[in-house]
Copies of this chain bind each other. A is one copy, B any other.
Amino acid sequence: MSTCTPATTLDFDTTSPAAVRAAIRSGAHLGFTNHLARGFVQGNLMIVPQAQAEDFATYCALNPRALPVLGRSRPGEPFIPELGADLDLRTDVGGYTVFRDGEPVDTPRSIAELWRDDLVAFVLGCSFSFEGVLQRHGVRLRHLDEGNVSAMYVTSVPTAEAGPFGGPLVVSMRALRARDAIRAITISQHYPMFHGEPVHIGTPALIGIDDLADSYGGHGLKELHPDELPVFWACGATAQLAARRARLPLCITHHKAHMVVTDLPVRP
């Protein structure tokens, strides 16, 4: 499996979501999705058993900045037609992580054989969706220039609990020059379904991040240049961490930066 290489297989920005999904489904594209289908919404995938689905929906509703719900499947259906007519959540995400009792046990490229009649899929907003908007407004996203993704961090900020779900807020970090940070804040506030404006800027320790080098999952751009500020947005990975803490018997998520690519256009 080589799902962690930067996206180079497909054209930057102009590929249609259906073409991206087809390339992923066929195995032609193996990389991150953040460079792809830039004008369209991407989302976090969270699949939980029906027994935990209502508590999870409540958890999302209580923490809308981190967990804006873009779509939810009916129990047993691996489809959310509102997000993509041909979208099959079992095969169209570039990588999955399977958790059992809170522990990661596999990272397959398809979950067709794991699908069950009692599973419910949620797709949650992702900050990848506004990165194209930021770039069109002249914001330099160095992690994209370097073929990387934004790093994620576990903070000391608690989320509101629901049933077995709770725990700390996870954030994504972008290293931005001051003018770009200001511009990114003014733009991202208009996209509440992709986490809205940042939750923090500047000193990481103030939100419980002791070392930028120690990112959640270990990947992403983690070093700041002297003229850059770390800017932190609430992140959908908050849900993954909550599901792990809840020790769900089964939980399936997208793997790292391999997101659900939807047909929803990003409002300019």
Question: Is A198 among interface residues, defined by CB-CB distance under 8 A?
Answer: yes
Question: Is A8 among interface residues, defined by CB-CB distance under 8 A?
Answer: no
Judging by beta carbons under 8 Å apart, are B203 and A227 in contact?
A: yes
Chain A, 169-190, contact with B by CB distance < 8 Å: what is the 0/1 string? 0000000001101100110010
Q: How many copies are assembled? A: 2
Chain B residues near A198 (CB, 8 Å)?
182
Judging by beta carbons under 8 Å apart, are A202 and B199 in contact?
A: no
Nearest residue (CB) in B for A232 is B178
Question: Is A245 among interface residues, defined by CB-CB distance under 8 A?
Answer: no
Judging by beta carbons under 8 Å apart, are B227 and A206 in contact?
A: yes
Tally of chain A residues near chain B (CB < 8 A): 18
Cα separation A239 to B143 with both chains bound (whole Å): 39
Chain B residues near A206 (CB, 8 Å)?
178, 227
Cα separation A206 to B229 with both chains bound (whole Å): 12
Cα separation A182 to B179 with both chains bound (whole Å): 13
Chain B residues near A189 (CB, 8 Å)?
186
A58 CB to nearest chain B CB (Å): 25
Question: Is A201 among interface residues, defined by CB-CB distance under 8 A?
Answer: yes
Question: Is A200 among interface residues, defined by CB-CB distance under 8 A?
Answer: yes
Question: Is A197 among interface residues, defined by CB-CB distance under 8 A?
Answer: yes
Cα separation A202 to B224 with both chains bound (whole Å): 13
Partner of A182, one of B201, B226, B227: B201
Partner of A229, one of B179, B186, B202, B226: B202
Chain B residues near A181 (CB, 8 Å)?
201-202
Of residues 192 through 219 on chain A, the ones whose CB sits less than 8 Å from some CB of chain B are 197-203, 206
Judging by beta carbons under 8 Å apart, are B178 and A186 in contact?
A: no
Nearest residue (CB) in B for A227 is B206
Given contacts A186-B189, A189-B186, A206-B227, contact A178 B197 (CB under 8 A): no
Instruction: Name 23 interchain pairs, CB-CB below 8 A, sorted by A.
Output: A178-B200, A178-B201, A178-B202, A178-B203, A178-B206, A179-B199, A179-B200, A181-B201, A181-B202, A182-B197, A182-B198, A182-B200, A182-B201, A185-B185, A185-B186, A186-B189, A186-B197, A201-B201, A201-B229, A202-B229, A203-B226, A203-B227, A206-B227
